[in-house]
Chains A and B, each alone.
Chain A
Amino acid sequence: MFKGLFNIIVKEVKELVRDPKILLGMIIVPLIMFPLMGFAIQTSMEIAEESMRSISIAVMDLDKGPVAENLTNFLIALNVIIVEVDYLNFTEAVNYVQQSNVTGLVVIPSGFSNNITEGLKAELDVYTVFRGGGIVESTSSSVISALFETFEEGLVVQKIGEKFPEAPENVLDPVEMSEKSIIKGKPVNVNPGVLFGLMMLQSTGMPVGIMMLLIFAMQLAATSVASEKEEKTLETLLTLPINRFTILAGKLTGSIVVAVIGAVAYIVGFNYYMSSFMGVMPTEIGVDLATIGLAPTPISYLLLGVSLFVSLLSALALAISISIFAEDVRGAQALVGPLSMLLVFPMIIMMFTDVYALPFPLMIVLLAIPFTHPMLASKVAFTGDYLTAVIGIAYVSIFTILVLYIAARLFGTEKILTAKLKLRKLRFRKLKK
């Protein structure tokens, strides 16, 4: 039955991989564009870090009191370059700061030290020079704010220390809260914030990855059939001594192979991009996932793999069934394009909430979409709910068999040559009514 399958798969892969549009869009762009974007962001971040290390502040000390002196010493101790501009008036100081490379200007008014010592509110004017925006300036502004907030906290501790000399920190932070989690019915000594961070990575990363893979595959499968029509090769192919289902299987497999290559390229490029500006990802969270039951088990990997595979097959069969009605590649992509909504919709919802927390009708709609299930299966490691994954696989398998049957039927009849959606004709008829 599958005689000639390998021959078709090899042809499909060659045709798709050698297509400059596919090569550019699926492999070269993710492998070059993402790293380039990452490099640009990394470079900007390094410049920002460098500028933070060499931050300089002009200080106009009109107070000359002990607290003002402490403030200056505090900044110097934190490697801030201090430029004294006491000898200038305010306008001259502003001009100086604008024309030099100084990051900001601090004006310590007369009476500053006295007010703080007396327990009154002291004023401090902190100016950051705006030279056109950008990450570097924004970061510098945040650093200046943080420096003065830290100094202020020190003053608070000092004041409290005068009344509670034993441990002034306890007044500021009187309750020692230990945040822990309950996982799968067991209390675990892990901060839930860390777990949610981990879940966030998983709940955004996996659905996006799955969505990209399925969209790639659908576009490829649609292109594969439509280009046979557009290049007028389909008729010849259909008269060859080869089973029609083998042609369909060859197209499905070829599309899967190229889609996986594309998805891997995308993931590699995207990971590089993410890691280039997110620094060290929270993989080292100090938590042994296996001991708290959150490490993926071989069964969860297996379920995810099977779920992904049947979903991929159903997406491809669906794309092929629909693209049969197109006359060329552009038409096929236009017909298959709306199908991506079936991927984007569950992805967006699952990024923000749990499917089972949705209102019942919406939950049913979401569960009826086959592409929701691989995204659900990706959470099995965290939920341990193998049964849901198995039911999902069974549902998607039935859907896949149904769609494959339809695709095979369409491939086996003359419909593959004669079927076309007469959208223009339909629209015309409607207008006439």
Chain B
Amino acid sequence: MGLAVECNALVKDFGDVRALDGLSFQVKNGEIYGLIGPNGAGKTTALRIVSTLLLPTSGSVEVFGQDVVDDASEIRRVISYLPEEAGAYKNLSGYEYLQFMAKFTTEDKEVIKESVDVAARISGLEERLKDKVKTYSKGMKRRLLVARALMTKPKLAVLDEPTSGLDVLHSVHVRGLVKQYVENQGVTVLLSSHNMLEVEHLCDRVALINKGKIVAEGSPAELKKNVNASNLEEVFAKVVGFV
């Protein structure tokens, strides 16, 4: 099994603030890998670097063997990034938004239509896709955005807090979608969350991040076993010495 993401000794500074401090991890093809940690741990910064939005201060990141600095254009062809606080163009309808996004990956009208149909199914928005995005609730908008991120069958989906702002039912729906989509399409997912219980159910492997560093890594079961904890929250608290 090859590597989808290989991150080595990654450092990112914003002025005097060090957001990432020697972060290293690997994501295998076809797995769901989660970066988990509290707010400000560096999860979003790491995902933004993987998604070619930010440049590393030092260290390296490769996505399917291509460097995020030198081969950013090639990487953008195979990834799909869902930011935590993403929005959609409020004056476009849901359909128009999905079509706009799909047109960047292909010029084939049939493929565009197929992608939009997939997104319509994933989002479950049906007739509401004809309405302008500004009329959507927060949950509807998030479902639209998750659908957008997955509809083009990217080789790597980078999802930053995919269930951010969703209520319990919608969170369960989105988690189910991601899991099902990875199984059916063979997509690799790198996601972040501060909801450790959610990640436990969704991810094959996770890395616990604190203050820009990985403090523990493994499958949820391994991590719990290693520190004799009943859930990932407890694992995290024990690893960072909170309890």
- Give residues in A with beta carbon < 8 Å to B: 4, 7, 10-11, 14-15, 18-19, 231-233, 235-236, 238-243, 413-414, 417-418
5 A-B pairs within 8 Å (CB atoms) are namely A235-B86, A236-B83, A239-B53, A241-B73, A242-B104
B23-31, B89-97, B123-131 - interface stretch: B89-97
- Known pairs A235-B83, A238-B53, A240-B76; A18 contacts B103 (CB<8 A): no
Task: State A418–B19 Cα separation when bound (angstroms).
Answer: 13
- Known pairs A231-B90, A414-B54, A414-B55; A241 contacts B105 (CB<8 A): yes
Q: Does B77 contact A (CB under 8 A)?
A: yes
Q: How far is the CB of B116 from chain A (nearest CB, A)?
A: 14
- Write the chain A residue with the least CB distance to B133: A231
Q: Are B81 and A231 in contact (CB under 8 A)?
A: no
Chain A hits for B101, CB < 8 A: 236, 240
Q: Are B86 and A233 in contact (CB under 8 A)?
A: yes
Q: Are A231 and B83 in contact (CB under 8 A)?
A: no
Give the size category of B's interface with A.
20 to 34
Q: Are A241 and B87 in contact (CB under 8 A)?
A: no
Chain A hits for B82, CB < 8 A: 236
Q: How far is the CB of A254 from chain B (nearest CB, A)?
A: 12
Q: Are B103 and A7 in contact (CB under 8 A)?
A: yes
Partner of A18 from B77, B80, B83, B91 at Cβ < 8 Å? B91
Q: Are A11 and B54 in contact (CB under 8 A)?
A: no
Task: State A414–B72 Cα separation when bound (angstroms).
Answer: 12
Q: Are A11 and B86 in contact (CB under 8 A)?
A: no
Task: State A243–B101 Cα separation when bound (angstroms).
Answer: 14
Which 9 A-B pairs have CB atoms at the shortest separation, nearest pair first? Answer: A18-B91, A232-B87, A231-B87, A239-B81, A241-B77, A235-B83, A241-B76, A240-B104, A7-B103
Task: State A236–B84 Cα separation when bound (angstroms).
Answer: 10
- Write the chain B residue with the least CB distance to A240: B104
- Known pairs A14-B96, A414-B53; A19 contacts B86 (CB<8 A): no
Task: State A113–B210 Cα separation when bound (angstroms).
Answer: 109
Q: Does B88 contact A (CB under 8 A)?
A: yes
Task: State A238–B80 Cα separation when bound (angstroms).
Answer: 11
Task: State A241–B103 Cα separation when bound (angstroms).
Answer: 10
Q: Does B193 contact A (CB under 8 A)?
A: no
Number of A-B contacts (CB under 8 A): 72
Q: Are B88 and A233 in contact (CB under 8 A)?
A: yes
Chain A hits for B79, CB < 8 A: 239
Q: Does B85 contact A (CB under 8 A)?
A: yes
Q: Does B115 contact A (CB under 8 A)?
A: no
Chain B hits for A238, CB < 8 A: 52-53
Task: State A233–B83 Cα separation when bound (angstroms).
Answer: 9
Task: State A140–B178 Cα separation when bound (angstroms).
Answer: 81
Task: State A243–B74 Cα separation when bound (angstroms).
Answer: 11
Q: Are B89 and A231 in contact (CB under 8 A)?
A: yes
Task: State A243–B105 Cα separation when bound (angstroms).
Answer: 13
Apart from A235-B48, A236-B148, A238-B53, what are 5 other A-B pairs with CB-CB below 8 Å? A14-B91, A14-B92, A231-B88, A233-B87, A417-B48
Q: Which of B51, B83, B148 has the most CB of A within 10 A?
A: B83
- Give residues in B with beta carbon < 8 Å to A: 14, 48, 51-55, 73, 76-77, 79-83, 85-92, 96, 100-101, 103-105, 132, 145, 148
Q: Are A232 and B86 in contact (CB under 8 A)?
A: yes
Q: Are B53 and A11 in contact (CB under 8 A)?
A: no
- Known pairs A238-B53, A417-B54, A418-B14; A11 contacts B81 (CB<8 A): no
Q: Which of A14, A231, A242, A417 has the most CB of B within 10 A?
A: A231
- Write the chain B residue with the least CB distance to A229: B87
Q: How far is the CB of B109 from chain A (nearest CB, A)?
A: 13
Task: State A239–B53 Cα separation when bound (angstroms).
Answer: 7
- Write the chain A residue with the least CB distance to B81: A239
Task: State A293–B100 Cα separation when bound (angstroms).
Answer: 52
Chain B hits for A232, CB < 8 A: 83, 85-87
Q: How far is the CB of A215 from chain B (nearest CB, A)?
A: 22
Q: Are B81 and A235 in contact (CB under 8 A)?
A: yes
Q: How far is the CB of A332 from chain B (nearest CB, A)?
A: 16
Task: State A72–B100 Cα separation when bound (angstroms).
Answer: 80
Task: State A236–B79 Cα separation when bound (angstroms).
Answer: 11
Chain B hits for A235, CB < 8 A: 48, 53, 81, 83, 86
Task: State A414–B76 Cα separation when bound (angstroms).
Answer: 15
Task: State A19–B48 Cα separation when bound (angstroms).
Answer: 30
Task: State A207–B55 Cα separation when bound (angstroms).
Answer: 45
Task: State A242–B102 Cα separation when bound (angstroms).
Answer: 12
Chain A hits for B90, CB < 8 A: 231
Q: Are A15 and B89 in contact (CB under 8 A)?
A: yes
Task: State A372–B87 Cα separation when bound (angstroms).
Answer: 40
- Write the chain B residue with the least CB distance to A233: B87
Chain B hits for A243, CB < 8 A: 73
Chain A hits for B77, CB < 8 A: 241
Chain A hits for B87, CB < 8 A: 231-233
Q: How far is the CB of A276 from chain B (nearest CB, A)?
A: 34
Q: Are A7 and B100 in contact (CB under 8 A)?
A: yes
Q: Which of A4, A238, A241 has the most CB of B within 10 A?
A: A241
Task: State A242–B148 Cα separation when bound (angstroms).
Answer: 16
Task: State A4–B106 Cα separation when bound (angstroms).
Answer: 10
Chain B hits for A14, CB < 8 A: 91-92, 96
Q: Are B53 and A417 in contact (CB under 8 A)?
A: yes
Chain B hits for A414, CB < 8 A: 53-55
Q: How far is the CB of B90 from chain A (nearest CB, A)?
A: 6
- Write the chain B residue with the least CB distance to A11: B100
Q: How far is the CB of B20 from chain A (nearest CB, A)?
A: 14
Q: How far is the CB of B70 from chain A (nearest CB, A)?
A: 14
Chain A hits for B88, CB < 8 A: 231, 233
- Known pairs A239-B51, A240-B101; A15 contacts B91 (CB<8 A): yes
Q: How far is the CB of A220 from chain B (nearest CB, A)?
A: 14
Q: How far is the CB of A6 from chain B (nearest CB, A)?
A: 9
Chain A hits for B81, CB < 8 A: 235-236, 239
Q: How far is the CB of B147 from chain A (nearest CB, A)?
A: 13
- Known pairs A4-B104, A239-B51; A11 contacts B89 (CB<8 A): yes
Chain A hits for B52, CB < 8 A: 238-239
